Amino acid sequence: MPSSVRSSLDPALTGASAPVPVGAPPAARQGDTPRRLSVQEALACARETQRLEIGPGAIAHVPAVFAAQFPQRTAVVIADRNTWAIAGARVHAALGAAGIAVHESFIFDDPALYAEFGYVERLLAFLQPRDVIPVAVGSGTINDLVKLAAGRLTRPYLAVATAASMDGYTAFGASITFQGAKQTFDCPAPQAVVADTEVLRTAPREMTAAGYADLQAKITAGADWIVADALAVEPIDWRAWDIVQGGLAVALADPAGAREGKTEAIAPLTEGLMLGGFAMQWTKSSRPASGAEHQFSHLWDMEHHVHGDAAPAHGFKVGIATLAITSLYEYLLRQPIESLDVAACAERWPEPAAMEEQVRRLFATSDFLATALTETRAKHPSRAALRSQLELLQRNWPGLRRRLQAQLVPFGELKSRLRAVGAPAEPEEIGISRARLRDSFVRALHIRRRFTVLDFAARTGLLEPALRSLFGPGGMWAVHA
């Protein structure tokens, strides 16, 4: 039976869903150990998504979900040729058979379809004059195209997932290429999502592998939030923490099973991917699901990175970046932070003008220098502010180190999981050389104001020594002889 969940509770109004006060001291939690929430509890925190169905045969529930969410409205299936064959035709027929008014489907027949704004415009031209509710049948591309088109028309929509390939189904915002550059457009998450594990388990293996790698990234995303919390930059919202971290270990437990399409592995993986979006809806920020590892992926997108003739899957980029960030954490955890020379760090810290000069040099040939400057300025502390932050770091280090050790999964374990699920585990497999991976640590730091382990490393003066060690002889990223 699909786990059927429905909620219209406003989390702000119900005691049961009230968040633990933001910034509650970790002691009150006895550490960061998350509480595993039921899907119902997580869904109650979603501000936009009202209903989620995951399970074998869940597609049969699309008509009931549609009728409950959009009474008296006309449905239209949006798909591409592939997803139409996999599930779209069935969804269209089921809606009609249930007596729901169904418009003729809109099927993208371009074999090179991708999340590009021109396709959103085509969809807008179709949807605007018609009083219909889109039913997006597909994975990342179809969902993002429909999400943005529906958002532009302030129209709700229903998503039917065809692959456990990324965590964007329930996220607000659509990742769309506009004028050659990938951008995140602001638009609401789907009002309802149906994920039939019988469909997901037969999706191409590399799609499931990408979804697994995207979920594994929540480990380092969580570590970054712990650092930001300990340094009083961005306190952890414990409700969002529980939503993302609570079931994470279970959802990642069987990479080989996920690769083989075992329902017992696909179902928790899918649930984990969906919950990440709910946590983002709750905090109105991507912080719960995205840290420095996602900044690497964003950076490579902004640099228009392609491997072969296409951009690698989001999850594959994030998977490699999760390894990279974990290697940096493991280096930092070996350092005697408690005896850090704070005064020397503050003295070495560049004044704003010098930092700007550095950013201008780094991004001189890019088309996003302005973004890098804005984002770097937004988080660049004065020497005095840096000094007090590093003093706080020193005072909190024993506790922070313990929290990070409990959160992180060893580099070797992460890597073997990527191998087991069939995802790339070496940067070259996604077309990133080691030299470029090394540069990405520095460049990723500057493209987003979010405080991550990259800021921790830069502000303590440990980023360059870490890169020398990690990429040097005997390091985790040493160039093979």
**Chain contacts with Zn ion (rule: CB under 5 A):** 214
Closest contact distance (angstroms) between CB of 314 and Zn ion is: 6
Contact 455, 224 (CB under 8 A): no
Closest contact distance (angstroms) between CB of 167 and Zn ion is: 5
End-to-end CA distance of the chain: 54
Closest contact distance (angstroms) between CB of 189 and Zn ion is: 14
The first and second tokens of residue 432, run together, are: 């990133």
Closest contact distance (angstroms) between CB of 221 and Zn ion is: 9
Nearer CB in complex with Zn ion: 214/237: 214
Residues 6+ positions from 259 with CB-CB distance below 8 Å: 205, 208, 209, 420, 421, 422
Closest contact distance (angstroms) between CB of 214 and Zn ion is: 4
Nearer CB in complex with Zn ion: 214/375: 214
- Distance from C-alpha of 436 to C-alpha of 266, rounded to nearest angstrom: 33
- Distance from C-alpha of 368 to C-alpha of 447, rounded to nearest angstrom: 9
Residue 73 exposed, middle or buried by CB count within 10 Å (0-12, 13-18, 19+): middle
Nearer CB in complex with Zn ion: 88/211: 211
Radius of gyration of the chain (CA): 23
- Distance from C-alpha of 458 to C-alpha of 359, rounded to nearest angstrom: 14
Collapse the DSSP code of 213 into the 3-class scheme (helix H, G, I; strand E, B; otherwise coil) and give the result.
Answer: helix
Nearer CB in complex with Zn ion: 206/214: 214
Residues 6+ positions from 34 with CB-CB distance below 8 Å: 241, 242, 244, 245, 246, 248
Q: In this chain, which residue has its C-beta nearest to Zn ion?
A: 214
- What does DSSP assign to residue 88? I
Nearer CB in complex with Zn ion: 66/296: 296
Contact 200, 163 (CB under 8 A): yes
- Distance from C-alpha of 294 to C-alpha of 319, rounded to nearest angstrom: 9
Q: How many CA atoms lie within 13 A of 320 on its CB side?
A: 26
Closest contact distance (angstroms) between CB of 218 and Zn ion is: 9
Closest contact distance (angstroms) between CB of 183 and Zn ion is: 15
Closest contact distance (angstroms) between CB of 324 and Zn ion is: 15
Nearer CB in complex with Zn ion: 80/214: 214
List beta partners, residue 428: none
Collapse the DSSP code of 439 into the 3-class scheme (helix H, G, I; strand E, B; otherwise coil) and give the result.
Answer: helix
Collapse the DSSP code of 55 into the 3-class scheme (helix H, G, I; strand E, B; otherwise coil) and give the result.
Answer: strand
Nearer CB in complex with Zn ion: 34/168: 168
Nearer CB in complex with Zn ion: 188/315: 315
Lookup result for tokens 């704004």: 117
Nearer CB in complex with Zn ion: 61/417: 417
Cα dihedral sign, 188-191-197-199 = negative
Nearer CB in complex with Zn ion: 140/268: 140
Closest contact distance (angstroms) between CB of 173 and Zn ion is: 11
The first and second tokens of residue 223, run together, are: 């570590």
Closest contact distance (angstroms) between CB of 271 and Zn ion is: 16
**Region of 314 on the Ramachandran plot (φ > 0 left; ψ -120 to 50 alpha; else beta):** alpha
The first and second tokens of residue 333, run together, are: 């955890």
Nearer CB in complex with Zn ion: 65/115: 115
**Region of 180 on the Ramachandran plot (φ > 0 left; ψ -120 to 50 alpha; else beta):** left
H helix intervals, 9-139? 39-44, 62-69, 81-83, 89-97, 117-127
Contact 172, 113 (CB under 8 A): no
Closest contact distance (angstroms) between CB of 60 and Zn ion is: 30
Closest contact distance (angstroms) between CB of 354 and Zn ion is: 34
- Distance from C-alpha of 109 to C-alpha of 191, rounded to nearest angstrom: 26
Nearer CB in complex with Zn ion: 167/375: 167
